[in-house]
């Protein structure tokens, strides 16, 4: 007998699908949203909304509605106005500065930058510029020669942080750039504890390079013209390898910086860290340590205190003197540029010590006496940078000459020595 099993599921059923839409007529698909918009005065409300938004973005004072002070517009002390321009770095300027009004939420975020030694003389001026540019800055300093007063005007700014830390100890921070300045720079300070000086240069630099490698940050080393020692080539080009005493009293600094340069290049070649090297020549300006043994600060402090200006040796040894705003401009261009370096950053104007003493006399006290003392060991006879490489590749050259820069420093020194600020009494 044939099987009676029948699977009824295969029978075709009449389909009554209540949800299947009828194919729309093409004209209806266009008119339906239009009719929706016109209903209940919706269109008027939409147009009104657009008008209010347009008015808001046109007349709002800035993209920020935060009542906090506008730190970017705070004056930067001591800088020549023509030298603080950010013209050279237009792509770095915060978007709100470039374009005027920008809707909330789409502003360019500034960079996160560590400045080691940022409470010192050069570091604090660099911090001023970075903060003014809109970046977030973390200063790492052990206050050996730096002072909180140098950066105090940024306290309370949410884009500024200060960490008391010795760079010979490791540190982990998430940052985009590292300016590594931490190191005592004047002979009085670096000779105070030579072993610590070399440790700062070697272990401190290693730590900061390690940090750069770990977080993928760009690293800039502030090296020095001292790597040329007592130079046999004049003026000094970056290709010159120097004439340095490896066992002298200045070697902790000179050889320390040479080693720091070596480490920097090895991290670059071996670990692919993006690095920059600046060789800084004598720099002066406000916030230098008083009585730190550097010739400009010595002369200025002595002249203000009515003491004789101390000239070591016959006073015919030469130096070049760079105003701090020029140096900061060079450091920032180097960091933002494409070239590793090393780059000489200094003012090629060459002065003998006696010529410098004359400028100080003219600026502060024409009656200031000169006192000669025996020269210190390993004091270089000549120092003058060849800055053609920085001119060609960074488009940088110093703008502030000694007679313009010295009065700016004198008013700061006068205030710190006497606790007053006699404007106009700086140049006679
Ligand atoms: N000013 C110049 O003429 C000149 C010339 C050549 C090179 N440089 C270099 O520029 C950099 C800054 O020099 P400056 O003139 O501002 O000197 P500075 O002494 O005023 O500043 C150095 C800063 O580094 C800090 N520091 C020192 N050792 C540290 C450590 N172990 N850990 C953390 N912080 C430490 C100090 O407290 C200070 O704030 C230095 O690296 C220096 O070698 C300066």
Q: 359 lies in a domain?
A: yes
Helix, strand, coil in percent for the chain, rounding step 5? 40, 15, 45
- Rounded mean pLDDT of the chain? 82
CB burial readout 382-393, b (16+ within 10 A) else e: bbbbbbebbeee
204 pLDDT band, cuts 50/70/90, is very high
Handedness of CA 6, 10, 16, 19 (dihedral sign): positive
Query: Ligand 1: distance of its center to the CA of 1 in Å?
Result: 108
Q: Whose CA is nearest to atom 1 of ligand 1?
A: 283
Q: Is the pLDDT of residue 5 over 80?
A: no
The pLDDT tens digits of the residues spanning 32-59 come to 767 776 777 777 888 888 888 888 776 6
27 pLDDT band, cuts 50/70/90, is low
- pLDDT reported for residue 90: 31
Domain range enclosing 255: 111-418
Q: 268 lies in a domain?
A: yes
- 212 close to 171: Cβ distance less than 8 angstroms: no
The pLDDT tens digits of the residues spanning 214-239 come to 999 999 999 999 999 988 888 999 99
- pLDDT reported for residue 24: 56
Q: Is the pLDDT of residue 106 over 70?
A: no
Ligand 1 in reach of 182 Cβ (< 6 A): yes
The whole-number average pLDDT for the span 407-420 is: 87
The pLDDT tens digits of the residues spanning 301-320 come to 999 999 999 998 888 888 88
Ligand 1 in reach of 280 Cβ (< 6 A): yes
- pLDDT reported for residue 82: 37
CATH number at residue 283: 3.40.50.720
Question: What is the number of the ligand 1 atom nearest to the C-alpha of 181?
Answer: 41
- pLDDT reported for residue 37: 67
Q: Is the pLDDT of residue 83 over 50?
A: no
Q: 356 lies in a domain?
A: yes
Q: Is the pLDDT of residue 2 over 60?
A: no
Question: What is the number of the ligand 1 atom nearest to the C-alpha of 199?
Answer: 31
pTM: 0.76
Measured CA to CA in angstroms, residue 295 lies from 267, 318, 353, 401 at distances of 35, 11, 8, 17
Query: Ligand 1: distance of its center to the CA of 419 in Å?
Result: 25
Query: Ligand 1: distance of its center to the CA of 163 in Å?
Result: 16
**How many percent of the chain have pLDDT more than 70?**
77
Q: 249 lies in a domain?
A: yes
Q: 412 lies in a domain?
A: yes
Distance CA 344, CA 55 (A): 52
- pLDDT reported for residue 212: 97
Q: 6 lies in a domain?
A: no
Ligand 1 in reach of 201 Cβ (< 6 A): no
Burial grade of 242 (CB within 10 A; 0-12, 13-18, 19 or more): middle
Query: Pairing mode, if any, of strands 318-320 and 350-352?
Result: antiparallel
Q: Among 47-56, 79-88, 130-139, 369-378, which is the least confidently predicted range?
A: 79-88
Q: 20 lies in a domain?
A: no
67 pLDDT band, cuts 50/70/90, is very low
Q: Is the pLDDT of residue 107 over 80?
A: no
- pLDDT reported for residue 77: 46
Question: What is the number of the ligand 1 atom nearest to the C-alpha of 225?
Answer: 6
Tell me which residue of 181, 166, 241, 237 sits closest to 385, measured CA to CA.
237
Ligand 1 in reach of 187 Cβ (< 6 A): no
18 pLDDT band, cuts 50/70/90, is very low
Q: Is the pLDDT of residue 144 over 90?
A: yes
Question: What is the number of the ligand 1 atom nearest to the C-alpha of 146?
Answer: 39
Q: Among 110-114, 298-302, 375-379, which is the least confidently predicted range?
A: 375-379
Q: Whose CA is nearest to atom 17 of ligand 1?
A: 185
Instruction: Select the more confidently predicted residue: 337 or 80.
Output: 337
Ligand 1 in reach of 168 Cβ (< 6 A): yes
Query: Ligand 1: distance of its center to the CA of 252 in Å?
Result: 14
Q: 104 lies in a domain?
A: no
In 55-210, beta strands by DSSP E: 112-116, 136-141, 160-164, 177-180
The whole-number average pLDDT for the span 276-296 is: 91
The domain tally of the chain equals: 1
Query: Ligand 1: distance of its center to the CA of 181 in Å?
Result: 5
Q: Is the pLDDT of residue 257 over 80?
A: yes
Q: Whose CA is nearest to atom 44 of ligand 1?
A: 185
**Which residues carry out catalysis?**
253
Instruction: Select the more confidently predicted residue: 240 or 186.
Output: 240
- pLDDT reported for residue 40: 73
């Amino acid at each position: 007998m044939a099987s009676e099993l029948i699977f009824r599921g295969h029978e075709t059923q009449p389909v009554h699908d209540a949800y299947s839409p009828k194919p729309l007529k093409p004209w209806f698909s266009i008119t339906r949203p239009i009719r929706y918009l016109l209903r209940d005065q919706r269109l008027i409300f939409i147009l009104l909304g657009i008008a209010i938004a347009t008015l808001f973005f046109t007349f709002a004072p800035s993209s920020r509605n935060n009542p906090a002070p506008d730190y970017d517009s705070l004056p930067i002390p001591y800088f020549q106005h023509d030298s603080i321009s950010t013209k050279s770095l237009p792509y770095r300027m915060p978007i709100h500065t470039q374009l005027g009004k920008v809707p909330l939420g789409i502003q360019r975020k500034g960079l996160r930058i560590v400045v080691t030694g940022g409470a010192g003389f050069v570091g604090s001026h660099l911090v001023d510029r970075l903060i003014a540019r809109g970046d977030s800055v973390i200063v790492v300093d052990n206050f050996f020669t730096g002072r909180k007063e140098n950066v105090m005007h940024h306290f309370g700014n949410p884009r500024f942080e200060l960490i008391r830390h010795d760079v010979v100890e490791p540190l982990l921070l998430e940052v985009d750039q590292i300016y590594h300045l931490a190191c005592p720079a004047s002979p009085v300070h670096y000779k105070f504890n030579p072993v610590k000086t070399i440790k700062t240069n070697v272990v401190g630099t290693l730590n900061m390079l390690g940090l750069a490698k770990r977080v993928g940050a760009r690293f800039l080393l502030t090296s020095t013209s001292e790597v040329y020692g007592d130079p046999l080539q004049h003026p000094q080009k970056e290709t010159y390898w120097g004439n340095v005493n490896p066992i002298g009293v200045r070697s902790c600094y000179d050889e320390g910086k040479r080693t720091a340069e070596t480490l920097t290049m090895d991290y670059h070649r071996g670990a692919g860290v993006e690095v920059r090297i600046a060789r800084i020549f004598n720099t002066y300006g406000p916030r230098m340590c008083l009585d730190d043994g550097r010739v400009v600060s010595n002369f200025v402090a002595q002249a203000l205190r009515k003491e004789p200006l101390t000239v070591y040796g016959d006073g015919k040894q030469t130096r070049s003197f760079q105003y701090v705003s020029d140096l900061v401009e060079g450091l920032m261009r180097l960091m933002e540029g494409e070239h590793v370096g090393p780059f000489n950053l200094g003012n090629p104007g060459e002065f003998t010590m006696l010529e410098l003493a004359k400028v100080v006399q003219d600026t502060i006290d024409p009656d200031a006496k000169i006192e000669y003392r025996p020269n210190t060991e390993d004091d270089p006879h000549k120092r003058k940078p060849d800055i053609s490489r920085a001119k060609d590749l960074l488009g940088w050259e110093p703008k502030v000459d000694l007679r313009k820069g010295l009065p700016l420093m004198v008013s700061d020194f006068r205030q710190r020595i006497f606790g007053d600020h006699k404007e106009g009494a700086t140049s006679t």
